[in-house]
């Protein structure tokens, strides 16, 4: 199912998302949500999507791993992700967001990160990421913490020619 994407200033986007319990993960309570998020992200041509962006305040994010790295995987599912380590070296790159269509901004972020997260079976994993993958993970974890990229942007611009065609909740 394709879900509507919530737009700034919807309150769910500014709320810290709830951690999933081990039982909720093991019984697959949110497996339908994860599948719907995958369909929604692909339909909207996104590279990442966090559950609050579809109106559900839980700590789930997905990333189109093929779009951001050379990995063999298709979609990276992050349940209860936490950044454990950040590099001192930072880079500036332009970011956009499905919840703020047609707005882009230069954001300074750590170039490399190490995260821990759970997969859909509840197993805790560690991932070292750099470059664009690290940036997308940080962007999505920010969503889970109720932070939008615009609050971190050094500069912002608007693409006045872009007309969103996606079903949004304003």
pLDDT digits (tens, 9 = 90+) for 102-134: 999 999 999 999 999 999 999 999 999 999 999
Q: Up-side HSE of residue 32: CA atoms within 13 Å toward CB?
A: 4
- Model's pTM, two decimal places? 0.93
Q: How far apart are CA 62 and CA 35, in angstroms?
A: 10
We report the CATH number of the domain holding residue 24 as: 3.90.45.10
Torsion angle, alpha carbons of 109, 113, 115, 119, to 10: 90
Q: How far apart are CA 165 and CA 20, in angstroms?
A: 32
Model confidence at 12: pLDDT above 70: yes
In a domain, 103, yes or no: yes
In a domain, 167, yes or no: no
In a domain, 42, yes or no: yes
Over residues 56-79, mean pLDDT: 89
pLDDT at 16: 98
Number of domains in the chain: 1
8 A C-beta contact, residue 34 and residue 54: no
Model confidence at 159: pLDDT above 90: no
Residue 96: closest CA among 60, 147, 136, 134:
136
In a domain, 61, yes or no: yes
How many Å is the Cα radius of gyration of the chain?
Answer: 15
Greatest alpha-carbon pair distance for the chain in Å reads 46
Domain limits for position 100: 5-162
In a domain, 23, yes or no: yes
8 A C-beta contact, residue 21 and residue 80: no
pLDDT at 27: 93
In a domain, 68, yes or no: yes
In a domain, 169, yes or no: no
pLDDT at 76: 95
In a domain, 168, yes or no: no
pLDDT at 44: 94
User: Which residue in 18, 73, 111, 140 is the catalytic one?
Assistant: 140
Q: Where are the beta strands (DSSP E) in 4-123?
A: 5-6, 48-50, 60-64, 75-86, 90-97, 100-110, 112-118
Would you call the peptide bond into 9 cis, given omega within 30 degrees of 0 as the criterion?
yes
Query: For this structure, is 94 an active site residue?
Result: no
């Amino acid at each position: 199912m394709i879900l509507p994407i919530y737009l700034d200033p919807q309150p769910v986007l500014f709320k810290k998302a709830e951690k999933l319990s081990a039982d909720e993960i093991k019984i697959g309570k949110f497996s339908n949500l994860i599948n719907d998020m995958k369909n929604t992200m692909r339909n909207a041509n996104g590279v990442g999507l966090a559950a609050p962006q579809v109106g559900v305040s839980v700590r789930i994010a997905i990333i189109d791993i093929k779009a951001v790295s050379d990995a063999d995987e298709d979609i990276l599912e992050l349940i209860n992700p936490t950044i454990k380590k950040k590099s001192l070296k930072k880079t500036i790159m332009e970011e956009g967001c499905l919840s703020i269509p047609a707005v882009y901004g230069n954001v300074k972020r750590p170039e490399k990160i190490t995260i821990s997260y759970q997969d859909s079976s509840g197993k805790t994993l560690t991932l070292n990421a750099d470059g664009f993958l690290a940036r997308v993970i940080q962007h999505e974890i920010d969503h889970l913490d109720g932070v939008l990229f615009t609050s971190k942007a050094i500069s912002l611009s608007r693409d006045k020619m872009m007309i969103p065609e996606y079903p949004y909740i304003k």
